[in-house]
Amino acid sequence: NLTMLRTYHKSGALSGMDKLIPHSIDGVTADLIIQDLALTRSFAEVAAHICYPDRPTVKEMYQTNLFVNNHKLFSTDQLTATMARVSIPFLGFGLGVNSWRHISTAFKRKLGRFAEDLLEDDEQDTVEALQAGHNRSTENRIYGLSPDALAGAPEDLLPLFLQASTNWQLVMHTVPGGLQLAYPLARSHQTNTPTAAAAVAPLQGAEVISSMQNLIMARIEDQLVAGIERNIVARVVDALVPAVRTIIHDTLAKAMPQQSVSHSEDFWPRGEGPKHASQEEAQDVSGSQNTGLVKDKISVLADRSLLTLRVLLQDERANWRSSKQKDAVLSVLKRETDIIAMLKTGGGKSMLAIIPAIMDTKRAVVVVLPLKSLMTDWERKLKAMGVHFQIYNPTVRLRRDANLILVSADKAKFKTWRQHLAELNEVLPVGRLVFDEAHLPLLAENFREAMRYMQEIRQFPMQLVLLSGTIPPFSVAALKASFGLAGNAIEIRESGNRPELEYIMKTPAQSNTLESTVIQIVESERQTWTPEDRGLVFVSDLGNRHVCVLIAAPQSGWPFYNGSKEMSDTSRVQCYGDWFTGKCPVMICTSAFSTGNDYPHVRVVIHLKTPLEMTEIIQAQGRGGRDGRPARCYILPSSAPPKIAVGQSEMDHKGLQYAHDYIYRYGLNRCLRYGSTLYIDGEGMECRRHESNQRCCVCKADPNHNPSQVTAHSDKQNTHSTSANKRTIEHVSDSSDPFEKVHQQAKKSRTDRLEGEMKRVERMRNALDKMKDRGCPPCIAFGEQGGRSVHPIFQCPSLERLGVSWDMYKAWKASIQYHKHKGICWKCHVPTCGDELHAPLERGKALCDWPDVVMPLALTVFQRANIREAAQRYFGAVWQKIDQFNNWLMKAPGAGHHSNGMDLVLWYVEEYLK
């Protein structure tokens, strides 16, 4: 039986010495260690001497250390990375060293404190020991020991430690050691083989135990006798054989199940049983098969939800904004399948989260908000209604007393969020997750990490409710796939027509004339405003010169709300507050404000210069007239159309091409309301169809205008397709857990992605280690054997051969900055990969394992003409000048990659350092 000694430090400071704890090694590990030490280690020592002639410490490592990682010892980070890569396919998450410490401790606490109990017994004093004038620990360490025993413990305790190891191995369904099994036969799934079965498989009768006991004891005696002096053998064998015989007998007996078959009640604690459905629940299930009763139940549910709505709005006469809003709320309350609620702006989408949270207090409702402006608006709205809620803070655990939880999309991707939500789910099940403005992941996937892998947001079997007022019919399929919705997800679409809005488009004009037009429009509109009325001016980009002109204009001085990093959250809140309270009734803003603002009395919305996206046009114009009173929406296009970049096979979810055609192709020739509703609903509605519709500028000029006679938009994506999943509200699911299947799909998707990422991280780590171990990148590239020697980059003799001085290198390295992607260390330029490859980035700290690999190699590649030509062919790039090379390094990498510099390292290592 192979035994390993582990140092125990817990009481070392008190006793002045560390304890050595023996562990019996399991069958697989024992066989592999023996083969390593007896067969391969000597060859490894010879190989280390040949490969590292100038580093004798490498050979010494193989002589003195049990585990060696090539030419160095294992680090905790390396062990964690390896454990994570292996565990992800089976557990769904990366089980590292720290996580294993927590889990194994919990296992031991619940399943058996074998070794810990022995240590605690050693530290607990007995009356007999105190009578002798010392404590029990001293007694066990000094007195009553055989001179041949292991130092620090009496030999009668050693078998107890081995038994603790064997018990733990059996609990973990691992084949114990001592059976002399080859590792393929000692693996857990091989426990049915004849030999292994003797240790861990169900055994029949005392005869089997006795025969196996005799077999094992014979082998143990032979092993103890071999190579040990006879006078020591007699003492050790006489002392250990009876104890080990008892250990094996007890262990095998525990591994055997009783002859009688356990009943299902045995799985439940005494006095308890499986919780069966109550009589009321059984009646509900049986009653669901009766159509009449189902309709009665839905009617009661509708009445209760309407009453809740009136309480929230503090209006006893309040009613649903539309029948679609009612259907959506009831579908969420029934919690049978996923919901896509496509209600128009101002259609009451927020009630789909608020009403279920109030009516179903035994389940938590999570609301994910992808924009900061949405968080501000939801918070204001909930406080005004008196609804109890909590906003997620990564430093504070979620409370169970507030079942409505607001979280930003960025924080919903943090590991801490998943941990805190899992803890809450244990005491308050998470039943629903509502994602507001759910169309944004389709629009923002290319520049926001938080909008990627949305399917993984379903952490438990819970209902997903997607809210949006601007999902074109052709985008629904992509939205379902992005979030991993159930195949029978319900789509509830309300017409996007806003009759209270008057659409006005001006003739395209020179850009330098547009600011004065904006000021004139606002001054004219404000003449009829009341103190509560407001105005919004949307600009297409942060660097728009019109912003500076309008802010500096003496007759305006309007604040500028935007989502850039330069504007702090405090400034945004103050800017919004000044506008909301009327201190500055007109505000300039970007598309960051086009969603989430529900202020009811916006009388004018102006798009200054050509808006780029049709979705953003509809969202921004939807800020107007939410109180039901008329509002005007202006578009002031520039005479120079913006460039459109949409690939041939790319789905234009933003409506870039449609916005261009809406303004420049159709412009003032077709009803503006018709063009807007055609995009968002798949069916256009002209102004003249309903008397309640405000007439747009086109229909005012030509009251008999028929937009359907105008040549239809040629975009083949804009086709209205009815969904087969528009089920009736009366449908009742017969599934006890309708979200388990999609939850498992989301879990598998996350597992597959993490497994792929861990493989990529491991590939990058190996490449970086290989470069670091070889030495200096410039020296390696020049074929210098001195490249193996360790010297800092500022002492590299090969820099001069590259035609670069140390000062030039420093200036060049400092010029490489990453504005289009995050998570790259400023010092070593290694991507963090979510802190899996590089230590977390902290201001003022740079804990880099590979400080001089990426950038020295990159410069070497560019300066060496032959290597640069090979790299250009591989990456399909042209670097005639250093500026071109710098731009390529700083450019955002392709999907699945972290940086072009890291890709360059991978290519070089795998091409030149094979």
Q: Which residues contact 60 (CB under 8 A, 6 or more apart)?
A: none
Percent above pLDDT 90 for the chain? 32
Q: How confident is the model at residue 716 (pLDDT cuts 50, 70, 90)?
A: very low
Q: What is the pLDDT of residue 124?
A: 56
The residue behind tokens 């939850």 is 743
Sign of the CA dihedral with 393 first, then 396, 402, and 405 last: positive
Stated as kind and residue range, the H or E segment containing 701 is helix 697-701
Highest mean pLDDT among 118-127, 337-346, 727-736: 337-346
Q: Which residues contact 326 (CB under 8 A, 6 or more apart)?
A: 302, 305, 306, 320
CA dist 811 and 617 (Å) reads: 44
pLDDT, one tens digit per residue, over 507-555 is: 999 888 888 899 899 999 999 999 999 999 998 765 555 566 666 565 6
Burial label for 665, CB within 10 Å (0-12, 13-18, 19+), is middle
- Domain 289-493 shares a fold with domain 501-705: yes
The residue behind tokens 């009876």 is 242
Three-state DSSP state, 305: helix
Q: Is the pLDDT score of 460 beyond 70?
A: yes
Both tokens of 854, joined, read 């990426």
Q: Is the pLDDT score of 558 beyond 80?
A: yes
Both tokens of 106, joined, read 């919990």
Percent above pLDDT 70 for the chain? 74
CA dist 46 and 58 (Å) reads: 11
The residue behind tokens 């200054």 is 608
Q: How confident is the model at residue 844 (pLDDT cuts 50, 70, 90)?
A: low
Closest to 421 (Cα-Cα) out of 367, 361, 481: 367
CA dist 134 and 120 (Å) reads: 17
What are the extents of the domains in the chain? 3-255, 289-493, 501-705, 744-912
CA dist 275 and 755 (Å) reads: 38
pLDDT, one tens digit per residue, over 672-698 is: 999 999 999 999 999 999 999 999 999
pLDDT, one tens digit per residue, over 398-450 is: 999 999 999 998 888 888 899 899 999 999 999 999 999 998 888 765 545 65
CA dist 581 and 204 (Å) reads: 83
Q: Which residues contact 816 (CB under 8 A, 6 or more apart)?
A: 829, 855, 886, 889, 890, 901
Between the alpha carbon of residue 825 and those of residues 493, 779, 793, 814, the distances in Å are 46, 24, 18, 12
Stated as kind and residue range, the H or E segment containing 560 is strand 560-561
CA dist 138 and 442 (Å) reads: 70
Q: Which fold has domain 289-493?
A: Rossmann fold (3.40.50)
Q: Which residues contact 447 (CB under 8 A, 6 or more apart)?
A: 820
Q: Which fold has domain 501-705?
A: Rossmann fold (3.40.50)
Q: How many CB atoms lie within 10 A of CB 364?
A: 25
Q: Is the pLDDT score of 722 beyond 50?
A: no
Torsion of CA 576, 577, 583, 587, to 10 degrees: 0
Q: What is the pLDDT of residue 96?
A: 84
Query: Starting from the edge strand earliest in sequence, which strands make up the sheet with 390-391, in order?
Result: 390-391, 404-408, 364-369, 430-435, 463-468, 339-342, 490-493
pLDDT, one tens digit per residue, over 597-615 is: 778 999 999 998 888 889 8
Is 872 in contact with 865 (CB distance < 8 Å)?
no
Both tokens of 907, joined, read 């290519």
Q: What are phi and psi of 868, to 5 degrees?
A: -65, -40
Q: How confident is the model at residue 874 (pLDDT cuts 50, 70, 90)?
A: very high
